Amino acid sequence: MFVPRISTPILTAVLASCQPSTETVTFFHTGSLSPLVETVSKRFESMHPGVVVVRESGAGLDLIRKLPGRTRGPDLLAVSDRRLLERLLDSGSVTRAFEFLGNDMVLATRDPEFLSPTRLSGRSHRRWYEILLERDYSYGIADPDRDPPGYCAHMVWKLAEMHYERPGLYRRLLNGLDSRWICPESGELAALLRADALDLAFLYRSTALQNGLAFLDLPSQIALGETPFGASYSQATLRVTGKAPDSMTEFRGVPIRYGVALMRENSPWAERYLDYLLSPEVQALYRELGYRNIPVTRIAPW
């Protein structure tokens, strides 16, 4: 029986047409969102076979600074300070963006006994900053020039100085901070705590909870979580490195609110992913993972 010979290029084209097509959604996000994004991405991929979500996490300010140097930027971008997206919207780098969840600052540790006033001082009602000022224990923060939790920690200290009526408290906490414990991003602080290399760290509540760490809830007046205290938070400011190494940007204290942005037009799968991330089904995960549930709202340019 005669069997016609099919040329290699034609055979390759026929076989390729039989393979399921793969769509890719690229998502850059702050490290504090990693557990949420991983869970959501796996669910989304199982719901849409053939779609792959490529995730890249990092320090929030670092992610923003990397964007201009990319030959092809991400489809989606999420950061823990929505103001970073406001600026991108103003420059035309973002299609649309949403504020979608919140967080609070806490003082975290691996050993809850570190936060026991009785053990540390022999008497009750010892405040957290007194523990740090004694310098018997190490404490760390994220780099404020690279990751929003870092400048949020500075805001907490400045607000604590006003809240507790302790003039000079911010400067004393800053002077007592060992430069070894200023990490590029907060996830590294959590790892140091788990490894017993560091005693205490100022982290987002979600980061502490997701890493199985004990933590002290800070007063609402300084924890940067509550909208009613927004005016009070704004009294604290900090200048950090801008987009260029020789430039500076000032941030003012505000409630911690995450933003997520669609970075390019005509990205139907990215749009579907974004819709799913903001859906009631996924919002149910927010509080479970330690975030603060807030109304989803559209972000306007700066």
| Separation CA 124–CA 118 (nearest Å) | 6
Percent of the chain with pLDDT over 90: 67
Of 65 and 215, the one with more pLDDT: 215
Return the closest-CA partner of residue 120 out of 66, 56, 200, 185. Answer: 200
Region 92-106: mean pLDDT is 90
Average pLDDT over all residues of the chain: 87
Residue range 150-174, pLDDT digits in tens: 999 999 999 999 999 999 999 999 9
Which of the four pLDDT bands, split at 50, 70 and 90, describes residue 119? very low
pLDDT > 90? residue 204:
yes
pTM: 0.87
Percent of the chain with pLDDT over 70: 87
Q: What is the 3-state secondary structure (H, E, C) of the chain?
A: CCCCCCCHHHHHHHHHHHCCCCEEEEEEEEHHHHHHHHHHHHHHHHHCCCEEEEEEEECHHHHHHHHHHCCCCCCEEEECCCHHHHHHHHHCCCCEEEEEEECCEEEEECCHHHHCHHHHHCCCCCCHHHHHHCCCCCEEEECCCCCHHHHHHHHHHHHHHHHCCCCCHHHHHHHCCCHHHEECCHHHHHHHHHCCCCCEEEEEHHHHHHCCCEEEECCCCCCCCCHHHHHHHCCCEEEEECCCCCCEEEEECCCCEEEEEECCCCCHHHHHHHHHHCCHHHHHHHHHCCCEEEEEEECCCC
Residue range 10-64, pLDDT digits in tens: 433 443 444 456 899 999 999 999 999 999 999 999 999 999 999 999 898 888 8
Question: Residue 22 has what pLDDT?
Answer: 82
